[in-house]
Chain A
Amino acid sequence: MVMSQLVMNSLIAGSIYALVACGFSLIYTTNRFMHFAHGTTIVAAGYLLYQLFQVLGIPFFAASFVSICLAGMLGLSTYYYLYLPLQKRKASNIVLLIASIGVLIFIENLIQLIFGASVKSIGYIKIARGMDLLGAVITPLQLTIILSSIILLGVLSFLMYKTILGRNMRAVADNPELSSIIGIDHVKVSKYSFLIGSYLAGIAGILIGLEQNLEPTMGTSLMIKGFTGAVIGGVGSVPAAALGSYLLGFAENFGIWYLPSGYKDAIAFILLFLFLLFRPSGMFGREKGASHD
């Protein structure tokens, strides 16, 4: 009973991290730089849903659909108006990383300016006892989060490895100049990656917002966990990033079962540090071959 609940808690936590990591990893896999503002796209989607559903009274699913679409537009706009001009000026990945952090801070503060700093709750689901499942207690929303994460993982894996777009994304990630020579419009592929990745952020924002409430700065901590999960699994591969996120969820929950409670964040950072130091390609990532260009 206790072990079942611990496993269930780990799955829920891992699924939340995986929802963040999938979109982030998709964008990184294609563009090869860290889009840390992905965290605020997630938060923005949650706040958009709050504004549309909670404040304006628009039906929940319509409001969710619009929020996801707008999240996609936000991610795409960030690429088109910020990253692409910087890339055209031959900006390094460090510059793009700093720009993404700047966007994250800007949007967090903008959300705070518009909505205030206090916590917002999306009152779509009544708080009630969860249901019994395999010896553990889980709410329908938490089950939805787990299933969504698994389904999205499957869909993204299919996209990356079984479709032309996915293959082109992997090609652009590997060698953008060569991909252009072969006939791939790498700017368009990048746009798709930001659009799809940000749609995923929108889905994550809605589910996480319902589960954990909303506050303007939650994007940063979500990104830290999502990024850690991605590094553990293998940041250059979407399925690996998702699996790494699940590993992180299990490590944290089982870790604090046996360690003093204040060490929860330390578990994540120690794992991140160890992987960056000893296996930067992650548990499931491939060690890269020697460069020949």
Chain B
Amino acid sequence: MMRITKVHKNFGGVAALAGCSLMVDSGKITALIGPNGSGKTTLFNVISGIVPIDKGTISFQGKDVTRKPDYLIARQGISRTFQQVRLFKNLSIHDHVAIALSTNDETLLRNFFRTRKDQPKRIKQVLELVGLDKPPQTYASDLSYGQRKLLDLAVAIAKPHSLLMLDEPVAGVNPKLRQQIKGIIRALAAKGDTILLIEHDMNFVMDLADKVYVLDAGTIIAEGLPRQIQDNEKVLEAYLGD
């Protein structure tokens, strides 16, 4: 599905990514773990085009998406969430999901006519899937932290995608919501979604992931099945003192 090859990214002399390479297989949950500051979110930002790459290549479904603008990468089928939730403060839950559902084709005539007749049904389905039970006209700024996390996830899921990138989906949530989100990810995987997941919490990841990559100081130091990673000395060393 996606191949990342020797990606480098520097920020003012500090190497956030130093030749990072990994592969995401179709229909699997791939996890990316590592200590704080290892470059996980930077890699996500580079893949989604928010941050320009310095060196290396990223190919997605056989196409080279290196250096493409962020909105074009999104249209290729890459959908993501953010570690620190990003939403439209002054739009409603309904509008969030509706925007994500639309193909965002900017042809002028299409922009004046709504074309998705099944949109209300799809919006309802997505909100039920994530378990967000607030009225759809509620503004995002009026939601609690946990509800915003769910909306962020709903937007990522609703957006037509071939790859779903989740950046610490359970960071800062209570245990009940954590289980809820885990269930959502499992349900998506069961439907055949390809998921790339960043998570700080190894226990959360080990339950879910089909394959794990460990990132440290901008390079992949280990990869394999979750139980292989758990016993890996390099991984333990990277997390020492964490």
Q: Do chains A and B touch in the complex (CB under 8 A)?
A: yes
Residues of A in contact with B (beta carbons under 8 Å apart): 159, 162-165, 167-168, 170-171, 174-175, 177-186, 188-189, 192, 236, 286, 288-293
Contact check, B104 vs A182: say whether CB atoms are below 8 A apart.
Answer: yes
The residue of chain A having its C-beta at the shortest distance from the C-beta of B159 within the complex is A182
Q: Is the CB of B239 closer than 8 A to any CB of chain A?
A: no
B 67-97 binary contact with A (CB < 8 Å = 1; else 0): 0011110110000100011111111000100
Q: Are A174 and B91 in contact (CB under 8 A)?
A: yes
Given the contacts A164-B114, A292-B141, A292-B148, A182 and B89 also touching, CB distance less than 8 Å: no
Q: How far is the CB of B76 from chain A (nearest CB, A)?
A: 9
Interface centre among A163, A164, A174, A290, by most chain B C-beta atoms within 10 angstroms, is A164
**CA–CA, A137 and B98, complex, Å:** 48
Give Cα A30–Cα B104 distance, bound, in whole angstroms.
Answer: 16
Instruction: Identify B71's interface contact among A163, A165, A183, A192, CB under 8 A.
Output: A183
Point out residues on B near A: beta carbons under 8 Å: 48, 50, 69-72, 74-75, 80, 84-91, 95, 98-100, 102-104, 106, 108, 110-114, 139-142, 145, 148, 155, 159
Q: Is the CB of B74 within 8 A of A178?
A: no
B98 to chain A, nearest CB (A): 7
- Interface SS of chain A: helix, strand, loop or mixed? helix
**Pair B102/A174 contact, Cβ less than 8 Å:** no
Say whether A293 contacts B90, CB under 8 Å. Answer: no
CB-based closest 6 A-B pairs: A289-B141, A165-B111, A183-B74, A174-B88, A183-B104, A180-B70
CB neighbours of B70 from chain A (8 A): 180-181
Docked pose: A175 CA to B205 CA in angstroms:
31
Q: Is A171 a contact partner of B91 (Cβ separation < 8 A)?
A: yes
Known A163-B112, A168-B111, A292-B148; judge A185-B106 contact (CB<8 A): yes
A residues near B102, Cβ cutoff 8 Å: 164, 167
Out of A178, A180, A188, A236, name the residue touching B88 (CB < 8 Å). Answer: A178
8 Å CB contact of B80 from A162, A165, A181, A291 = A181
5 A-B pairs (CB sep. < 8 Å): A164-B102, A167-B99, A171-B95, A289-B89, A292-B145
Expressed in whole angstroms, the minimum distance between the Cβ of B40 and any Cβ of chain A is 17
Contact A171 to B148, CB < 8 A, known contacts A185-B106, A289-B141: no
Residues of B within 8 A of A293 (CB): 84-86
Contact in complex: A168, B99 (CB < 8 Å): yes
Contact B159 A183 (CB under 8 A): yes
Q: Assuming A168-B99, A171-B88, A289-B139, what are 10 further A-B pairs, CB within 8 angstroms?
A: A164-B113, A174-B89, A175-B89, A181-B80, A182-B74, A183-B74, A183-B75, A184-B99, A286-B139, A288-B90
Chain B's nearest CB lies how many Å from the CB of A177? 7
Question: Is A291 a contact of B50 with CB atoms below 8 Å?
Answer: no
Partner of A185 from the list B71, B98, B155 (CB cut-off 8 Å) is B71
Given contacts A168-B99, A171-B91, contact A186 B71 (CB under 8 A): yes
When distances are taken between beta carbons in the complex, the residues of chain A under 8 Å from B142 are 289
Residue of A nearest to B111 (CB): A165
Q: A residues within 8 A CB of B98?
A: 167
Q: A178, B141: Cβ atoms under 8 Å?
A: no
Bound-state CA distance A185–B108 (Å) is: 13
CB pair B50 A164 closer than 8 Å: no
- Residue with the highest number of chain A CB atoms closer than 10 Å, among B80, B89, B95, B159: B89
Residues in chain B near residue A175, CB distance under 8 A: 86-89
Question: Chain A nearest CB: distance from B198 CB in Å?
Answer: 15
Q: In the complex the two chains form, is B90's CB within 8 Å of A180's CB? A: no
CA distance A236 to B90 in the complex (A): 10
- Chain B residues whose C-beta falls within 8 Å of the C-beta of A286 in the assembled complex: 90, 139
- Given known A164-B110, A167-B95, contact A184–B141 (CB-CB < 8 A): no
